Amino acid sequence: MNEPFCSFADVLAAAARIAPHVNATPVLQSRSLEQLLGASVWFKAEPMQRTGSFKFRGACNAVWALPATQAGKGVITHSSGNHGAALALAARTRDIPCHVVVPHGAVPAKVASIRRYGATVHVCAPTAADREQTCARIAGETGATMIHPYANAQVIAGQGTAALELINAAGPLDVVMAPVGGGGLMSGTAIATAAMAPACARWGAEPEGAADTARSLAAGRREVDFVPDTVCDGLRGPVGAPNFELLRAHGVQVTTVSDDETVAAMRQLWECLKVVVEPSSATVLAALLKQRDAIAGKRVGVILSGGNVDLDAMPWSSR
Amino acid sequence: MNEPFCSFADVLAAAARIAPHVNATPVLQSRSLEQLLGASVWFKAEPMQRTGSFKFRGACNAVWALPATQAGKGVITHSSGNHGAALALAARTRDIPCHVVVPHGAVPAKVASIRRYGATVHVCAPTAADREQTCARIAGETGATMIHPYANAQVIAGQGTAALELINAAGPLDVVMAPVGGGGLMSGTAIATAAMAPACARWGAEPEGAADTARSLAAGRREVDFVPDTVCDGLRGPVGAPNFELLRAHGVQVTTVSDDETVAAMRQLWECLKVVVEPSSATVLAALLKQRDAIAGKRVGVILSGGNVDLDAMPWSSR
């Protein structure tokens, strides 16, 4: 049997490694939402993580897992979203260079945030080919290590620490659920949950407009040829190859939700939990509402992934 | 020397009494806000209290402090805001009747919330005279006990439990700050802080458009003849008579802030702390920003009072 791409031992090592840098985010409950769902629910509030999302856990673990000499040459990634900001701040905690390749036309506020956390921003053409080429060129010139947003074992191990904290805070759970995009958070969550609570179901939530993971799991092979169409800007990427294998190995079941369901759930989270969550986070509440019969009377833990939203453009005002 | 209206022993008794019913709300930190303020700051997140504000603490303590026979006849208050909803839910935790008198023309969503928590709503004319008369009539008919929103010793003791938890979580503090409206939260906060950390300063934040407490403290006597004009709907009431005496006795200093400063601070709290706060809560950040020189390098604890806002009407979009 092969060594797994990422194991629970890696998650535990990540927890120890990132502890001095991450926020121990709160685990929240809302009796209104519990009544609505007919279940006991614990929400791990990663919007309150540094940089506003769980991504800081994985980025921080990847940065601090590097040997000193290699780390000194810096890190590089491509991301116009939460991973870019997370890697920038993670690199700053170790005082090493960080390069973030963003496509021309990326949201200026997000690019400004990556710069504010101290990274050097490189703009490329908005194609996968130019993105890869730009990353390779800069890595070649600087010796910086590529930290992929989700298809990276140390990133996955770091993301798994959120479920670790959730399960430790909530106690025995019947179901743990997280959003699924590239599958970094979900595979880390599945690894931690399977090790800590083998009988606990591992569920994912995915937008209908980027449901490649649900399709891939149904087909038994990775199917990532699609054009994303969803309000969940954090979940548009295709599931990673190692991530897909981990989700399959851990029996992850995915519920898909429409953007209308997600936006309604996002508003319910703001109103009942008083946490600023981004649409990607709200997919889990939308999915639980669709699974009410299956969770009736059970103990459910969910991971709210992030809270980076444009406060001038609430999605419910435009729908 | 007279017995004080409310003492630290009352706060400790309240903490024990309400523990089975209240949420132990999180104490949050944001490195971005700490950089902005040049100080270490702990935020007690009462938006995550049941009913969405600290008001549930005082209401719950007042309800559970009643002898059984008296409690059985119910409780009554006048409020179209957070105290009405809080008393309604507090009464439901003891399974006793609750009457809430609201003025004709009150915000329908808030009235609906009071009803949803199980109270009987009575509509009166929007004058102080009719409000008092209506309360007196219903109290006479039912035997219900009046629970004033802030000029009530058990309410003040309950509100003081937020500072108790804040100081226990944060450790030694140089300043504790809370918003000031009627003075229920601020007087409970001052009592708890003075007892637990005598050297710690007690500061309040008050909107310029309802700055009767700042004026009263400066004048050395209660001056409450004013017409409130502020976006902070929770802070429009005049400071209560016992509250004023408690604030004066505990050396509370009040910083006043404009609505523009409050709305800007509200947005910063949403963005950096990811907590949905209402304008009243944001006065404390606005006040700290005005007191940057005074808090430089210090340890500051603040109470974010509540998070009940209309998500369809962000105050920054209309300004």
Find the range with the poorest average confidence among A180-189, B99-108, B212-221, B232-241. B99-108
Alpha helices in chain B, H assignment, sequence order = 8-18, 31-37, 55-65, 68-72, 82-94, 108-116, 128-142, 153-170, 184-196, 212-219, 241-249, 259-273, 279-290, 292-295
Three-state secondary structure call for residue A173 = coil
B274/A270 CB distance under 8 A: no
Reply yes or no on whether the pLDDT at B2 is more than 70. Answer: no
ipTM above 0.85, yes or no: yes
Please report residues of A whose CB lies closer than 8 A to that of B271.
Answer: 276, 311
Predicted confidence (pLDDT) per residue in B260-305, tens digit: 999 999 999 999 999 999 999 999 999 999 999 999 999 999 999 9
Measure the CA–CA gap between A14 and A165, rounded to whole angstroms: 12
Residues 6+ apart with CB under 8 A from B168: none
Instruction: Determine contact: A45 vs chain B, CB below 8 A.
Output: yes
Structure tokens at A8: 């629970």
pLDDT for position A79:
87
pLDDT of residue A106: 82
C-beta atoms of A314 and B316 within 8 A: no
Contacts of A93 (CB under 8 A, 6+ apart): A21, A60, A63, A64
- Do A264 and A283 contact (CB within 8 A), yes or no? no
| A2 pLDDT tier (thresholds 50, 70, 90) | low
Q: Is B181 exposed, middle or buried (0-12, 13-18, 19+ CB in 10 A)?
A: buried
Helices B184-196/B241-249 angle, 10° precision: 30
From CA B20, how far away is CA B124, in angstroms rounded? 34
Burial zone of B3 (CB within 10 Å; 0-12 exposed, 13-18 middle, 19+ buried): exposed
Mean pLDDT (chain B, rounded): 95
Q: How far is the C-alpha of B23 from the C-alpha of A148, rounded, in Å?
A: 39
pLDDT at A316: 76
Name the residue facing A275 among B274, B311, B317 (closest C-beta).
B274
- Per-residue pLDDT band for B319 (boundaries 50, 70, 90) equals low
Three-class secondary structure assignment of B80-102? CCHHHHHHHHHHHHHCCCEEEEE
Q: Is the pLDDT score of B3 beyond 90? A: no
Distance CA A114, CA A135 (A): 16
Token pair 């319910």 in the structure block, residue: A268
Separation between Cα atoms, residue B276 and residue A30, nearest integer Å: 14
The pLDDT tens digits of the residues spanning B175-188 come to: 999 999 999 999 99
Give the pLDDT band (50/70/90) at residue A4. confident
Tell me which chain B residues have a C-beta less than 8 angstroms from the C-beta of A31: 50
Of B23, B50, B276, the CB nearest to A270: B276
The phi and psi torsions of B309 (rounded to 5 degrees) equal: -130, 160
pLDDT digits (tens, 9 = 90+) for B277-289: 999 999 999 999 9
pLDDT tens-digit series, residues A107-145: 888 899 999 999 999 999 988 899 999 999 999 999 999
**pLDDT per position as a tens digit, B125-147:** 988 899 999 999 999 999 999 99
pLDDT in tens, B72-128: 999 999 987 899 999 999 999 999 999 999 999 888 888 999 999 999 999 999 888
Mean pLDDT along residues B19-42: 97
Burial environment of residue A229 by CB neighbours within 10 A (0 to 12, 13 to 18, 19 or more): exposed
Which pLDDT does position B318 carry in this prediction? Answer: 59
Q: What is the mean pLDDT of residues B151-162?
A: 98
Residue A68 burial (C-beta neighbours within 10 Å; 0-12, 13-18, 19+): exposed
B116 in A contact zone (CB under 8 Å): no
Residue A180: closest CA among A209, A143, A221: A209
> Per the CB < 8 Å rule, is A45 touching B274?
yes
Task: Give the DSSP H or E segment for A121.
Answer: strand A120-124
Angular region, B77: left φ>0, alpha ψ -120 to 50, beta rest: beta
pLDDT-derived band at A318, boundaries 50, 70, 90? low
Which of B274, B278, B314 is best to mutate for the A interface (most A CBs within 10 A)?
B274
In degrees and rounded to multiples of 5, residue B300 shows phi and psi of -125, 130
B window 260-279, beta carbon within 8 A of A:
267, 270-271, 273-277
State mean pLDDT over A249-272.
97
Helix (H, G, I), strand (E, B) or coil at A257: strand
Report the pLDDT averaged over residues A245-271: 97
Q: Parallel, antiparallel, or unpaired: how do β-strands A27-28 and A40-45 relate? A: antiparallel
User: Given this model, what pLDDT does residue A126 score?
Assistant: 87
% of chain B at pLDDT higher than 90: 89
Inspect the interface and report whether the beta carbons of B316 and A311 lie closer than 8 Å: yes
User: Exposure string (b/e) for A112-121, b if CB count within 10 Å is 16 or more?
Assistant: ebbeebebbb
Q: Are strands B40-45 and B27-28 parallel, antiparallel or unpaired?
A: antiparallel
Neighbours of B286 (CB within 10 A): 26
Name every chain A residue with its beta carbon within 8 A of the beta carbon of B307: 274
pLDDT at B1 exceeding the cut of 70: no
Q: Measure the CA–CA gap between A213 and A205, rounded to whole angstroms.
A: 10
Q: Which domains does chain A have, with CATH numbers?
A: 8-53+152-318 (3.40.50.1100), 56-146 (3.40.50.1100)
Residue A75 has pLDDT above 80, yes or no: yes
Q: Per the CB < 8 Å rule, is B311 touching A311?
A: no
Contact between A293 and A34 under an 8 Å Cβ cutoff? The reply is: no
